[in-house]
Structure 1
Amino acid sequence: MSSSEEEELGLLPPVEFICKKKKRRRAKRSSTQEDATRSASSGFKSRSSRTRVSSCPDGQETPLPSTASQPIRKRRGRDRGGERPKSHVCQQCGKAYCSAENLKVHWRIHTGERPYHCDQCGKSFIKSEAYRNHQRVHTGEKPYSCDQCGRSFSQRSSFNLHRRIHTKEKLPMCPKCGKHFITLQALSVHQRIHTGEKPYWCPQCEKRFRTLQNLTVHQRVHTGEKPYQCPRCEKRFATFQNCTVHQRSHTGEKPYGCPQCEKRYATLQSLMVHKRRHTGEKPYGCQQCKKNFTYLSTLNKHRKPRDTDRPRCHRCQQCGKAYTASGSLKIHQRSHTGEKPYHCDLCGRSFINSNGYRQHQRIHTGEKPYYCEHCGRSFSQAGAFRQHQRIHTGEKPHQCTQCNKSFIRLGALQAHWRTHTGEKPHQCPQCQKSFSQLGVLQAHLRTHTGEKPYRCLQCEKCFVTFQSLSVHKRIHTGEKPYWCQLCKKNFTYSSTLRRHRCVETTEDPHCLQCGASFSLSNQPWKHKCPDLSAEPGL
């Protein structure tokens, strides 16, 4: 073949491809280059060393790698280091990729194309892998499980970061508080707590945040966006975490258990708060009186009497009552409209606020989270628990202005006040008899209806009031809470103790305790000694 024919075919001097993986051929590199130089000067072109040429518009020729000098493989060739050559370059940013498919995916960053759409939340993604990982948010799938602690993850990257905790890999540490973090990014975000840095701010209310995620969640307050929806009740939430916790109210799942009392909770935060009962930790302190509290809500209630400078700018247009927060005003307005959005599925009762609904649910579940350390009694409501503690502390904050008698409960003081005024606002509709307390009227109405709702579990005897049942139970338990201070004798009933203290004679009946005299023989039985009423149990 002549040189003119070779030029028409586009043949060029050979290009050497030397495999660096095989060290034994490195010694022949110099001799191979000399042979190639001789063949180029003589114009000889071997069949195995020919290369293809692509013509350019400017008349220059660009050599393309020859396939004859390389072994034929099904997969693409790799360089001497074992890495695939990055021959596909982005024309905008200059980034190079190994395959055209990777370059095509990268090109979507510049064009903004997101071909993978989520049908549930409408979010779009560039890569199919990111779309599959996002689908696990809705399905709850967590395929990556830790063998040591059993915790599961939806993404491999989160799982790999979690494994560092068990492998005891050297983790980044905060120099101020000594806390360890899995990533340097988490450490830098944590250090903003010490420095007070809040680089992200809301353009509408100018509130600042430490992380971009907190800002994104906060902006949904202004936009009203709630992208996460419960599949059962169709209730929507602003964050995925709130939606997940809400779904546990339907399933009854409580994954967090207390190792001491085996009580379980739906959220980790509720478990951490519960553990303070066992440890006695009180992390919330009042700066004015230096008193510590277990719960933040208790500290806020403690601050309310001293917090008189807060403006009550939210006023009810119907009754004129003012509140410091718009949420409190919204709950108050339900008392005028009659709206009760919280319904009990068991008994059908409705409530104005969620707090009343939660406390009511404890009646059906039997839950009593408030435990008295003195007597071991448990309570379902915090208000009843606080009133009970005053029995042990002797605190009686409610005092009568006329007789200076003190009471534990405000309702007891109001009922006592009617003894001075003679007011009896509760009247029986059948016999027109009036009473000073509503509870006494309800017990009186049972005398007309014959209802006895309180039953003894041992002898099945029924009673009109719960107090009568409690007194009756002393027969079975043998309890004698009343005692005489003179002879130290115990009695089951207070009436029996009064009879014991009073000496009934036809000439001079009197009380041995207080010395009171009586004109009739039956008066000592009705006499209530003031010293006796001050004793425990009366």
Structure 2
Amino acid sequence: MNVTKEEPELVHIKEEHGDLWSNEDEEQLVVKQEADTFKVTPLDLKHDMNEPEEKMNQLLNADSPEDEELKRKKSDGSKLKRHKTNKPCEACGKWFSQKGNLIKHIRTHMGKKPYECEMCDKSFSNGSHLASHMRAHMGEKPFSCPTCAKGFSQKGNLNMHLRTHTGEKPYTCEMCGKSFSFSSGLVCHMRTHTGEKPFSCPTCAKEFSQKGSLIMHIRTHTGDKPYTCELCDKSFSNGSHLAGHMRTHTGEKPFSCRTCAKEFSQKSSLSKHMRTHTGEKPYACEMCDKSFSVGSYLARHMRKHTGEKPFSCPTCAKGFSLKGNLNMHIRTHTGEKPYHCKVCNKSFTSSSKDL
């Protein structure tokens, strides 16, 4: 990889208070701070990632002209605590001011992970990542939120959590301007623009843009319903379905129609209702010219074309394309007549009968 040489630029080294980098496991060189400035000339980056690993290792020992100058100053009795290499990674061109951090970075290219967890089979490219991982085994959560006191094993996770309180959304989509609190949210969102669906079901090969959507889908194959209502015996395959179900117990209807003010317990029910105002029918039959406002209506209609009758009577095995028709049929066996005439005392098995 080649990078065009640029004009040398002056770099001022200021005294730093405290350790900006943690490199206990790496070499720490000592040189003196100089009041003067010196020139740093970018290197030609000609490293081929396909070259032998030995050549990558040369990065750890190769000294730039600036290194030689710093070594000369060190021999003059200088005492700067950290060795500022101002050296780039020859594989990708990224610059580092500390040699130890350059070494750690090079491992990401070489695939080296010398720090192994003794409790599982995971390995890491640097010691700090292993230390963070060990907290997962020990349950240690040294970083706590000053607002709600929630604990975290990693400082980065705490920083992300804090955005839920501040409302900060630093990750912005360059294609539509939508912003997100987390980089992962932006990554998932970008797939709505690109159409990328990297997660596929091993059973039916259906593809998904988000891993969470795949996990929920897989439960349709396994029948797994890990979310259980504490007020009744119903279980659900995902948390949002349980949340919607809980509103049937509480009577809460947080979603209201802006046109007629009708309220709904689930957002999807509001979306369906809105189409009664707009007349939108986005679900079109590919076999005829009919369209429907709700996906389930299209699925029901398609059975007329296919002849499918998935609902069968447990008494006589007669099949029906609609569950409602099966329910009415079952009443012919039970004799149930739930529909009553308000004028006389006649009762009927279905509301469609003449009253």
Q: Would you call these one fold, judging by a TM-score over 0.5?
A: yes
1:494 to 323, 328, 332: 323
Question: In the alignment, is residue 119 of structure 1 matched against residue 7 of structure 2?
Answer: yes
Q: CA deviation at 1:351?
A: 1.5
Q: Is contact 2:254-2:264 (8 Å) kept?
A: yes
Question: In the alignment, is residue 311 of structure 1 matched against residue 141 of structure 2?
Answer: yes
Q: CA deviation at 1:355?
A: 0.9
1:509 to 317, 320, 335: 335
When residues 438 and 132 of structure 1 are mapped into structure 2, their CA distance, relative to the original with a 3 A threshold, is: closer
Aligned length: 269
CA RMSD of aligned residues (A): 5.0
Which letter does structure 1 place at the counterpart of 2:247? R
Q: CA deviation at 1:442?
A: 2.3
Question: In the alignment, is residue 393 of structure 1 matched against residue 222 of structure 2?
Answer: yes
1:409 to 225, 232, 238: 238
Q: Could you list the per-position Cα deviations for residues 283-305 of structure 1 after superposition, in whole angstroms to 9, with x for gaps in the alignment?
A: x99969x9x9xxxxxxx9xx999
Residues 52-451 of structure 1 aligned to structure 2 (within 5 Å)? 119=7, 134-135=43-44, 137=45, 162=52, 238=96, 307=137, 309-316=139-146, 318-451=147-280
Q: CA deviation at 1:399?
A: 1.4
Q: CA deviation at 1:336?
A: 3.7
Q: Is contact 1:499-1:525 (8 Å) kept?
A: no
Please give the TM-score of this superposition, normalised by the length of structure 1.
Answer: 0.40
Q: CA deviation at 1:241?
A: 12
Which letter does structure 2 place at the counterpart of 1:509? G
Aligned counterparts of 2:195 and 2:211: Cα–Cα separation in 1: 15
Structure 2 partner of 1:482: 311
Q: Is contact 1:509-1:518 (8 Å) kept?
A: no
When residues 415 and 453 of structure 1 are mapped into structure 2, their CA distance, relative to the original with a 3 A threshold, is: same
Aligned counterparts of 2:276 and 2:222: Cα–Cα separation in 1: 38
Aligned counterparts of 2:168 and 2:217: Cα–Cα separation in 1: 32
SS of equivalent residue, structure 2 residue 203: coil
Aligned counterparts of 1:309 and 1:341: Cα–Cα separation in 2: 30
When residues 236 and 460 of structure 1 are mapped into structure 2, their CA distance, relative to the original with a 3 A threshold, is: farther
Q: Could you list the per-position Cα deviations for residues 167-190 of structure 1 after superposition, in whole angstroms to 9, with x for gaps in the alignment?
A: xxxxxxxxxxxxxx869x89xxxx
Aligned counterparts of 1:122 and 1:449: Cα–Cα separation in 2: 65
Aligned counterparts of 1:400 and 1:435: Cα–Cα separation in 2: 20
When residues 434 and 309 of structure 1 are mapped into structure 2, their CA distance, relative to the original with a 3 A threshold, is: same
Higher RCO structure, 1 or 2 (CA under 8 Å, sep 6+): 2
Please give the TM-score of this superposition, normalised by the length of structure 2.
Answer: 0.58
Question: In the alignment, is residue 462 of structure 1 matched against residue 291 of structure 2?
Answer: yes
Which letter does structure 1 place at the counterpart of 2:204? C
Q: Is contact 1:509-1:524 (8 Å) kept?
A: no
Which letter does structure 1 place at the counterpart of 2:279? G
Which letter does structure 1 place at the counterpart of 2:169? K
Aligned counterparts of 1:268 and 1:349: Cα–Cα separation in 2: 36
Q: Could you list the per-position Cα deviations for residues 482-514 of structure 1 after superposition, in whole angstroms to 9, with x for gaps in the alignment?
A: 34444445433322332333318xxx723xxxx
Aligned counterparts of 1:475 and 1:268: Cα–Cα separation in 2: 60
Q: Is contact 1:121-1:227 (8 Å) kept?
A: no
Q: Is contact 2:88-2:95 (8 Å) kept?
A: yes
Which letter does structure 2 place at the counterpart of 1:382? K
Taking only the aligned residue pairs, the percentage that are identical comes to 36
Q: CA deviation at 1:118?
A: 5.7
SS of equivalent residue, structure 2 residue 230: coil
When residues 484 and 365 of structure 1 are mapped into structure 2, their CA distance, relative to the original with a 3 A threshold, is: farther
Q: Could you list the per-position Cα deviations for residues 247-297 of structure 1 after superposition, in whole angstroms to 9, with x for gaps in the alignment?
A: xxxxxxxxxxxxxxxxxxxx998xxxxxxxxxxxxxx99969x9x9xxxxx
Unaligned runs of 5+ in 2: 12-39, 59-81, 123-129, 341-346
Q: CA deviation at 1:320?
A: 4.1
Aligned counterparts of 2:303 and 2:102: Cα–Cα separation in 1: 55
Q: CA deviation at 1:440?
A: 0.8
Aligned counterparts of 2:329 and 2:205: Cα–Cα separation in 1: 33
Q: Could you list the per-position Cα deviations for residues 50-103 of structure 1 after superposition, in whole angstroms to 9, with x for gaps in the alignment?
A: xxxxxxxxxxxxxxxxxxxxxxxxxxxxxxxxxxxxxxxxxxxxxxxxxxxxxx
SS of equivalent residue, structure 1 residue 502: helix
Q: Could you list the per-position Cα deviations for residues 430-458 of structure 1 after superposition, in whole angstroms to 9, with x for gaps in the alignment?
A: 33322211221222122223333444455
Q: CA deviation at 1:476?
A: 4.8
Structure 1 partner of 2:125: none
Q: Could you list the per-position Cα deviations for residues 349-402 of structure 1 after superposition, in whole angstroms to 9, with x for gaps in the alignment?
A: 221111111112222222222222223322221112112222222221111222
